[in-house]
Structures are given as structure tokens and as C-alpha cells.
Amino acid sequence: MAELTAMTSTTRPPAACLIGWPAAHSRSPLIHHYWLRTLGIEGGYVIEAVPPDEFGDFVFRLSLRGFVGANVTIPHKERALALSKPDARARAVGAANTLWFADGELRSTNTDVEGFINNLDACAPGWDKAEDALVLGAGGAARAVLFGLIERGIKRIHLANRTAARARALADQFGASVLPAQWDAVDALLPRAGLLVNTTSLGMHGQPALELDAARLPQNAVVNDLVYVPLQTPLLAAAGARGLQTADGLGMLLHQAVRGFELWFGKRPQVTSELRALVEADLKKA
Ligand code: NAP
């Protein structure tokens, strides 16, 4: 396992990478280069397109390749978990998206949890006063959302998914505060949802719309859509038109990048309006 040990190079500045297949369209380089530049840190962040059959070897030699850590994206997140020492968040989510070295070991975490929570804290302080949350979707993103909501002490988390069995499976895994619901029960649950989170791909560019009547939400509800293409989803537009507090998917994307940068380069960066504008402009080009 010698190759897994981080090497300290005296000649090359630290560099991290994003490992994916495909990985070309990621905004992560834009985000990390912005922080490296504005914090005056000499370092690098590159994209590494690695096919599934080469992922294990790539990670085994991560340090020898000169990397202090990595982000991991589709389809490697579950393998990344298995090949590293995961923290509680990565284990609960069942996937790792950030790798780094500590005490000679390859560690992993899932930063979607703090991306979700820190974005809500930034956009809608006090959101966690909600006693009932309604989470739509039971895929990978929903797992991170559930972990975060439970950690913050939300009493009842209604979890509705098109495929009901997946919602039931997550409720079994995450415990009594997660209450599985049928997809056609969403309408009836809206009036008690102090927090509504869309973790489905509905509303995403090229996907069907999320059919939901935001007028049925309580007056003090907070609405969070994880979809960020488009930035302003129909759900967020409807919630905004009602004067509800909202948090968008781009905010989560930016906040989830903070921890990796801190682990690799030693300084905790800020999610600034300048960074947001930079990534927004890039998303509009796509
Ligand atoms: P995933 O694991 O593939 O899960 C997709 C979810 O969407 C499942 O619950 C699926 O339901 C549901 N769904 C898909 N099509 C549907 C339809 N026509 N009607 C009803 N439900 C439908 O994907 P994921 O990784 O969780 O990602 C989900 C979304 O979150 C994506 O838009 C992704 O871009 C976004 N996301 C954003 C961030 C961020 O930082 N902002 C981070 C992670 C993910 P079934 O179980 O019935 O198939």
C-alpha cells in the first residue's frame, strides 16, 4: 500500500483532480482555480477522465501521480468509497466524492451533505425550525439530504419517490424520522412542509417538469431545488413568486466544493457572489 501514502514534493505545487468518466463538463476546475487565484495559493486542479476498469489503479497511484487528493464523480463514487477509509457521511450516503490523504491513509467523505446544509444556512437562516420536511426523490442526492436533515434534528422527514420501494429502503436505513410516502401523496403533504427539497431530476433541462402546486405550501416554507440547470427552476420561480425563501442547486454545488479545497490546500475558501457570478456565466454558455 506504499503508493497510497501522500508524497510531499518539494518541487511541484500541490494539485488535486476530478476523476470521472465522462468528466469534461464539470465546473469544479473553475471553482477551485478561482479559490487558488484569490487566496494566492500556488496549486492546481485538473480533470482526469478515467474509465471504470482503470479507476482502481488510478486511485492506488494517486499520490505517485502527484495529487494530494481528488473529487470523484459518476460513475466512480461507490468504488471510491470501497477503496478508501470513509467517514460517517460517506458511509451513510453510500458514496464518496472527495478523497484526501491523512496519516498515510487515503480518506474519503461525501461533501454533498455539507453543501446542502451550508447552502440552506446561507440562503434561509432558521430553515431548521421546520418540524416537517418533505423530500422528493430517493436517489444518491436524497441520501446526502436525509443525512444532513437528521444531523440537524428535523423531527419528521416525509420522503416521496416515484418508485415507492426506494423510499421505503431509505427509511429503513435512516431510521424513524424518515417517513416514506407515496408519490401521489405529495399534494396532501405540502401544507405541512416547512421545508421542501427536490432531489429528483424533474425540472432539469431536458427532463419533465416537476408538477407541484407551490401555493399549497405554508407561508413560512423554505424551498430548495437541487437542480441547477436551469438555475431558476419552475419550482423556485413559483416559490419565489409567493415570497417564500429559496435555496438553489448552484449554491449547494459551490458549498460542497469548500471542504475538498480546505483538505487539499490548507485554507477554507468562501463562497462569494463573485464566484457565483463566474459559474453562473459559465452555465449560461452551455
Ligand atoms: P439519481 O440517483 O439518478 O436519482 C434520481 C431521482 O429522480 C430518483 O429518485 C428518481 O426516481 C427521480 N426521478 C427521475 N425521473 C423521474 C420522473 N420522471 N418522475 C419522478 N421521479 C423521477 O440522481 P441523483 O444523483 O440523486 O441526482 C438527482 C438530481 O439532483 C439531479 O438533477 C442532480 O443534478 C441533482 N444534484 C445536484 C447537486 C448539487 O450540488 N446541486 C448534487 C447532487 C445532485 P426513481 O427512484 O423512481 O427512479
For 120-132, write each residue's pLDDT tens digit: 999 999 999 999 9
Closest residue CA from atom 27 of ligand 1: 141
Beta-carbon contacts of 110 under 8 Å, excluding residues fewer than 6 positions away, are 89, 90, 93, 95, 96, 97, 98, 144
pLDDT tens profile 161-219: 999 999 999 999 999 999 999 999 999 999 999 999 999 999 999 999 999 999 999 99
Q: What is the CB neighbour count within 10 angstroms for residue 199?
A: 26
- Rounded percentage of the chain residues whose pLDDT exceeds 70: 96
- Over the chain, what is the mean pLDDT? 94
Best CA proximity match to 224, nearest among 131, 139, 149, 140:
149
Domains 2-110+251-285 and 114-247 equal at CATH topology level: yes
**Catalytic residue of the set 77, 85, 129, 284:** 77
Instruction: Round to whole Å and give the CA distance between 86 and 95.
Output: 9
- Measured in angstroms, how far is the CA atom of residue 235 from the centroid of ligand 1? 15
Provide the pLDDT for residue 227: 95
Angle (CA) 246 31 52, round 5°: 100
Averaged pLDDT, 138-150: 95
pLDDT tens profile 238-266: 999 999 999 999 999 999 999 999 999 99
Q: What is the CATH number of domain 2-110+251-285?
A: 3.40.50.10860
Is 77 among the residues known to form the active site? Answer: yes
Residue spans of the domains in the chain: they are 2-110+251-285, 114-247
CATH 1.10.1380.10 for domain 114-247: no
pTM (predicted TM-score)? 0.94
Q: Which atom of ligand 1 is nearest to the CA of 142?
A: 26
Residues flanking ligand 1, CB < 6 Å? 112, 115, 137-142, 161-163, 166, 199-202, 204, 208, 226-228, 249, 252-253, 256
